[in-house]
Amino acid sequence: MAQQEPSALRYTARRIARHVRWARSEGLGRLIAEDRLNPVDRVRTAAAKRRWRRRHGGQPGTARPVYLVGLQRSGTNMLVRGLDAAPEVEARNENDRTVFHRFRLRGDDVLVDTVHRSRHAIVLVKPLCDSHRVDRLLALPTRVPGRALWMWRDVDDRARSEVAKFGPANLRALRAVADGTIGAGWQGGGLDDEARALVASFDYDRMHPHTAAALFWYVRNDLFFRLGLDRRDDVLLVSYSDMVLDPAGQAGCVCAFLDLPYRPEFAADVTAAPARERLPIDARVRALCDDLTARLQRAGAEVADRG
């Protein structure tokens, strides 16, 4: 039987429990910064965007959609906060109720209409749960062609962060993909027969959540190549590790790709997590992840050489 969407009450309870667990493990300040809960910052940002629209705002229909995709816990919120500092950017994060319902896009027509109504230069949308559809999102009939940023993070850092915030969520999702009960769940989106067979080849009754998070990292980031995004000029691969090592340089590359003037604020919020040892991930999953890491690094190096 396919998984059903939880009720509103159950969904809210899950979110509260997740935020409490995250605040306990990472600190309340980290939670406030990540979810943009500081009202002073939000009011200041909104005021700057209103001033920009009054002085420089374009006609509706002139905005470029930019899709920030990849996998949860890969630094995408950090990148959103940086780009949202630009008044010419209208940011639509996953908690935006106009475009999203429970972190999924409401519909392509809603998305296109939102982009066409904007008077900003860029509408930044973060549809992580729809990353497997980014090729189709780029083909939507927006008046200005879209671009995409695919962000990825070291598998160990991402797995550690994922389990700290979401517990065994990736383990449950992989089990549902393997036994065919995932249904329309985004976790199984874009997976071909080969990928589904790989997922089904593991024993999830014995798998540790960190290994599951690493396997999920592999399955979702492998879509970058399965979708042929490495061969597209309208998609930029962004490395979290490179961003924290060289915030100004990497932010400059992103700005150049998006035709945005560089500002120091773009890199002001970039922080690196403390270095930690590699997780004891199952050897077979580790080999898959190491291979994909090398491919992602090569793809990033090729982009840098072209630039």
d(C-alpha 61, C-alpha 221), whole Å:
32
pLDDT at position 198: 98
pLDDT at position 128: 98
Determine what percent of the chain is predicted with pLDDT higher than 70. 86
d(C-alpha 218, C-alpha 237), whole Å:
16
Tell whether the model's pLDDT for residue 112 goes beyond 70: yes
Residue 254's nearest CA partner among 150, 106, 144 is: 150
Tell whether the model's pLDDT for residue 20 goes beyond 70: no
pLDDT at position 41: 77
pLDDT at position 39: 75
Query: CA 258 → CA 114, 234, 261, distances in Å?
Result: 19, 10, 9
d(C-alpha 133, C-alpha 171), whole Å:
23
Query: How does pLDDT run across 255-303, given as a tens digit for each residue?
Result: 999 999 998 888 877 877 777 889 999 999 999 999 999 999 999 998 7
Mean pLDDT of the chain: 89
d(C-alpha 271, C-alpha 50), whole Å:
28
Q: What is the β-pairing status of strands 64-70 and 147-152?
A: parallel
The answer, as to whether pTM is greater than 0.95, is: no
| Domains delineated in the chain | 8-306 (3.40.50)
d(C-alpha 23, C-alpha 16), whole Å:
10
pLDDT at position 303: 74
Asked if 223 contacts 235 with a C-beta cutoff of 8 angstroms, the reply is no
CB-count burial class (<10 Å; 0-12, 13-18, 19+) for 134: buried
3-state secondary structure of 229: helix
H-helix segments, 222-262 = 223-226, 240-245, 247-258
Band (92; pLDDT cuts 50, 70, 90): very high
Tell whether the model's pLDDT for residue 48 goes beyond 70: yes
Query: CA 111 → CA 66, 158, 227, 277, 285, distances in Å?
Result: 11, 29, 21, 41, 36
Asked if 142 contacts 110 with a C-beta cutoff of 8 angstroms, the reply is no
Side-by-side strand order, sheet with 122-125: 89-92, 122-125, 64-70, 147-152, 235-239
Band (44; pLDDT cuts 50, 70, 90): confident
- Compute the C-alpha angle 160/75/306, nearest 5°: 120
